[in-house]
Amino acid sequence: MKKTALITGGTRGIGFGIAQALAKEGYDLAINGVRPEEGAMEALDTLRAMGARVIYCQGSIASADDRANIIEKAYQELGALNVLVNNAGIAPRQRLDLLDTTPENYQEVVTTNLEGPFFLTQAIAKRMAHQKENNHAFQATIIFVTSVSATVTSVNRGEYCVSKAGLAMTSQLFAVRMAEYGIPVFEIRPGVITTDMTAKVQEKYDGLFANGMALQPRWGTTEDVGKAVASLTRGDFPYSTGQVINVDGGMLIDRL
C-alpha cells in the first residue's frame, strides 16, 4: 500500500516543490490550497503525471471549518495519512514598520501561519497516535516548514517573524508530545528561496547574495526544500526527532 501525505499550500512555491519530491518518492498526495480546484489544475496534473494519486482539499487553514473539511476529505479519499507537511503561510498584505503595523495585519498573518497549523496538527496527530496504538507498524512523520525569520528579525514584517518563531516552538512541542508514539516531528527552516512570494524583493536579495549573505552564493530552490523533506520522510534521520533542518546555504552561520 502506498504511503500518503497531506501538504498544505501544496500547489505553488515551496509546497509544490515538496509535493513533487514526495510524488517522486511514490506517495499519494492530498494537496491543500485556497484557490478553487480549477485554478490549481496545472499543478495537480503535473503531480499526477509523475504517477501520484492526487486529491485536492480546498480551504484556508486559518478557518476551523475549512481545516475540518480538509482533514475529512484527506482521510476519506486516502484512508490514512503517513505524513503531514505544514507548509501553507502568508506574508503581511502590507509591509509596515513595527511601530506602524496594525492589529488586522498581525491577526491575519498569525492566524494563518501559526494558529492554523497548530490546530491542524493537533487534529491529525490524534489520528496518527490512534493508528500507531492499533498498529505498531504504522509509520508517520510531521514536518513544519518555518523560515529563517523564526530567528532573524525583519522590522517591516514583524508579524511574519512572530508567526514563524511560534511555529518553531510548535514543532518542538509536538516532537515532545508525539515521542511516546514513535512519531518523529521535524522543522525545515528555509532561507531565501525562489518563489512568487520572494519575486517582489529579488533585487534586494541579489545584492545581499553578491555581498556574501550566505556561504553558498545563490538563491535556494523549491527543489532544495523538497529534497530535505523527502529525506526526512524516508527515515534517513531515525534518531533526530525535534531537530531543525536549515535549508539556507549556510546563511545563519556566525562569522567574524
Q: What is the pLDDT of residue 223?
A: 98
Note whether 185 and 241 are within 8 A (CB): yes
Answer whether residue 9 is part of any domain: yes
With 90 as the cut, is the pLDDT of residue 198 above it?
A: no
Q: What value does the mean pLDDT of the chain take?
A: 97
d(CA 59, CA 70): 7
Answer whether residue 250 is part of any domain: no
Answer whether residue 253 is part of any domain: no
CATH number of the domain bearing residue 171: 3.40.50.720
Q: How many domains does the chain have?
A: 1
Burial of 180 from C-beta contacts in 10 A (0-12 / 13-18 / 19+): exposed
Answer whether residue 254 is part of any domain: no
Q: What is the pLDDT of residue 19?
A: 98
- 216 three-class SS: coil
Residue whose C-alpha cell is 475549512 = 66
- How many CB atoms are located within 10 Å of the residue 209 CB? 17
Q: What is the pLDDT of residue 201?
A: 84
Answer whether residue 50 is part of any domain: yes
| Sheet of 83-86, strands arranged across | 54-58, 28-33, 4-7, 83-86, 141-145, 185-190, 244-247
List pLDDT tens digits, range 207-236: 999 999 999 999 999 999 999 999 999 999
List pLDDT tens digits, range 18-60: 999 999 999 999 999 999 999 999 999 999 999 999 999 999 9
pTM over 0.85: yes
Closest to 82 in 3D by CA, of 145, 13, 158, 22: 22
How does residue 200 score in pLDDT terms, banded at 50, 70 and 90?
A: confident
Q: What is the pLDDT of residue 23?
A: 98
d(CA 67, CA 64): 5
Answer whether residue 171 is part of any domain: yes
Q: What is the pLDDT of residue 199?
A: 80
Q: What is the pLDDT of residue 225?
A: 98
What is the extent of the structural domain holding 132? 4-245
With 90 as the cut, is the pLDDT of residue 196 above it?
A: no
Answer whether residue 47 is part of any domain: yes
Closest to 78 in 3D by CA, of 30, 40, 120: 30
List pLDDT tens digits, range 62-88: 999 999 999 999 999 999 999 999 999
List pLDDT tens digits, range 146-160: 999 999 999 999 999
Answer whether residue 251 is part of any domain: no
Note whether 8 and 71 are within 8 A (CB): no
